[in-house]
Structure 1
């Protein structure tokens, strides 16, 4: 049985069943849990987490209603195959929820990646306003073995762009292309204003003991007009 990682918080403000549901969903969408993998039984998970069976039952039922798992009487619960369209819709839903109900012109534009066999595509979320783009890719391609990244992306000045996708979808490759750390195989138009684009990762890679001034000094090395 594949191990799953669930950390519950009594101070998050989110119901326990929802915390269980969302953390299992995240592991499914990220590829950590694959199609066919068995989940712990409802009773076993309740015992391990120290919660009621009613709580784990609701979490599993929600996942089954979303088409992510199958609850089979007498056999247990198993991860279902997830289509690229489902991955895309789930990613967009999480982006919309994170930004409080959808895109707001001039403040955010998010990109979600979905993966099909041998190809990665992108989907833009939020309207692109008629303003200067600080990052612009038009039909940029990068191939690794049998996987090809096909990228068309515009990020206007003042937008926050979030990349959401499973491992191997092309998020890091896109950042490497944007920063000039990787070279595209082909392209029509690219535009990048390095002094207007910054990158924030979901996990910080700076030492915890750095003070704000020290951190600012390190980041300033990447920008000629850092103030």
Structure 2
């Protein structure tokens, strides 16, 4: 599952291929949409949650609130089922999808919307090999560095003046995330810990100065 971008996406993978997948793009309803999406995927696969033997979750980078919905849900499922939970960079999943769905071979970059007129981005030699990042920057600050490269993702589509060769898919799919994780686990690679990859401080912060109230 992944909730690091506006896409709330869930898939079930049997170690060889994707059995079922569902998702919806809605940047404001991650918490509301994730569990019904899990239920829909399990129903499509005619199975139940207790049949799951492992969980993969996108760790971002992504905004604070949406990202934590997926991470907390994954950790809760893993604890309840006594199964392992693995983290995977969301940008890696999008890069893998670019190869599988769009036939992009590389080199290229991936960029997602980081809000505040910034993008989360990374460079890839091919759909399975990240060579730089992830980082968060303003598009103007990295346009020269990425000049001439296809840039995959919604972050590229938002800023065509800086990323003229924007490519799809725009959002990560849990099916691609699961397939990449299955490849790496089969090869004996260790995946990331399921901890959030924020890259910057959250928008909501505790006020530094509290208003002093004196009794009348």
Could you state the TM-score of these two structures normalised by the residue count of structure 2?
0.37
Greater length-normalized contact order (CA 8 Å, ≥ 6 residues apart): 2
